[in-house]
Structure 1
Amino acid sequence: MHVIFLEDVPDKAHAGEVVKVADGYARNYLLPKGLAQVVTPEILKRVDKIKSEGDTRRIKETEAMEELAQLLDNTRINVAARVTPTGRYYGAITNNRIADELTAVLGRDIDRRIVEVIEPIREPGEHEITLRLSSDIQATIYITAENEE
């Protein structure tokens, strides 16, 4: 089935693109969520308008992500957690905890999915964390993991 995407769908298409997708994917996901429409002659006439709207939205999102990357880059935050007698944390400092700390420090909502923690932080010390804001925009922050007293 050929559909025109009304919004950007990661790893599939950008707004305004006409793409052939599986019938079930279109019927069960794209069409009910309003992400795409089945291609008809009337819709093909509106393709340019849909593309320009998608391009404008993508430019605004990119500018917002670049601004956030500049704000976040080289930010240092302290995170405290309880430590076992052997010097390791009882739990771990995960991307959820880091996103919560960044939200508290910056006063802006930070989504946990942008925080790339390869392995959860289990020991005190300084750790470098990458924030992937979009496919080509990223920022690096530094976490100082401390003992909770």
Structure 2
Amino acid sequence: MKVILTQDVKALGKKGQVVDINDGYARNYVLPKKLGIEANGANLNDLKLKNANDEKVAKEQLEEARAFAKIMDGEEVVVSIKAGEGGRTFGSVSTKEIAAAYKQQCGKEIDKKKIQLPEAIKSFGVYEVSVKLHPKVTGKLKVKVTEAK
């Protein structure tokens, strides 16, 4: 019997896959537990439409991420940190502070978990930080660290 999986099943396959399994296994386990639905014409057509829609949405998200990365490449964010005598800083600049400063200065929101710091920013200057906007798109953001007054 052909079945379209509605959830990932360990021994069978991933969600959305069409698999051929024994009739008894399908009737007694997969269908009653709502792990899959019978692969008839209507269900296969629904799956095809859903896959086409998912592909379209993924393409739109990729284009949005690329456009946002282009916008972000020309922007600079200024972050201020406290300093002691001789210009020594207290602590470092975190991704949370960078995300908050970007939202305040540029009006757009970035998830702090997507900002990738190669090493901790513990001194004044201009740094280039990577922002993972999409699995295929990484944007660059300039962060200028200044002394808080």
TM-score normalised according to structure 1 size: 0.71
User: 1:83-98 residue pairs with structure 2 within 5 A?
Assistant: 83-98=83-98
List gaps (5 residues or longer) in structure 2: 8-13, 20-33
Q: Secondary structure at the match of 1:63?
A: helix
Which residue does 2:114 correspond to in 1? 114
C-alpha separation in 2, matches of 1:39 and 1:53: 20
What CA deviation, in whole Å up to 9, does each residue of 1:61-102 have, x standing for no partner? 112111111110132121111013253321211111111111
> 2:148: which partner in 1?
148
State whether residues 88 and 124 of structure 1, in contact with CA within 8 Å, keep that contact through their aligned partners in structure 2. no
Contact 2:89 2:122 in 1 (8 A): yes
SS in structure 2 at match of 1:98 = helix
Q: CA RMSD in A?
A: 2.5
List structure 1 segments (4+ residues) > 6 angstroms apart after TM superposition.
none
- Give the alignment's TM-score, normalised by structure 2: 0.71
**Are 1:4 and 1:19, in contact at CA under 8 Å, matched by a contact in 2?**
no
Q: Give 5+ residue unaligned stretches, structure 1.
A: 6-12, 21-36
Looking at structure 2, the residues matched to 108 and 142 of structure 1 have their Cα atoms a distance apart, in angstroms, of: 15
Q: Is residue 126 of structure 1 aligned with residue 126 of structure 2? A: yes
Q: 1:40 aligns with which of 37, 41, 45?
A: 37
How many residues of Structure 1 are paired with residues of Structure 2 in the alignment? 123
Secondary structure of 2:85's counterpart equals coil
* In 2: Cα distance, 1:47 partner to 1:97 partner: 43
